[in-house]
């Protein structure tokens, strides 16, 4: 079966999950500084072995998206909780306007490579 044909009608415990965090940066925060702070979170995120891939995007309105693919919902939720206590995440978190954060998790039911 071709990868694009791999579809699920429902999620299971081993279904990969997409985490989407959308937000704006605090006034005065430079994009390059934020990206450098994001790089500082790599080791912690990779250490759990559940991260598949991660992207940072910024649209023309200034809204950032941190998009992470996890191996499972359990892994995604566990990581979301752990980062709140992780010192490596504090520089990144301090640059984000908390009033603008929108976090969601959804199972990936179909993918085209």
Give me the residue spans of the domains in the chain. 15-107
Structure tokens at 107: 């199972």
pLDDT value at 54 more than 80 = yes
Q: Say how far apart CA 68 and CA 64 lie, in whole Å.
A: 13
Name residue 69's beta-bridge partners: 18, 53
pLDDT value at 16 more than 60 = yes
Q: What kind of fold does domain 15-107 have according to CATH? A: Alpha-Beta Plaits (3.30.70)
pLDDT at 103: 96
pLDDT value at 29 more than 60 = yes
């Amino acid at each position: 079966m071709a990868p694009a044909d791999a579809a699920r009608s429902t999620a299971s415990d081993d279904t990969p999950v997409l985490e989407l965090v959308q937000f704006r940066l605090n006034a005065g925060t430079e994009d390059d500084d934020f990206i450098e702070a994001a790089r500082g979170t790599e080791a912690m995120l990779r250490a759990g072995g559940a991260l598949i891939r991660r992207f940072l995007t910024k649209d023309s309105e200034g809204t950032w998206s941190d998009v992470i693919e996890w191996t499972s919902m359990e892994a995604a939720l566990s990581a979301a909780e752990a980062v709140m206590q992780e010192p490596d995440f504090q520089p990144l978190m301090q640059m984000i306007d908390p009033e603008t954060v929108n976090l969601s998790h959804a199972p990936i039911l179909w993918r085209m490579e």
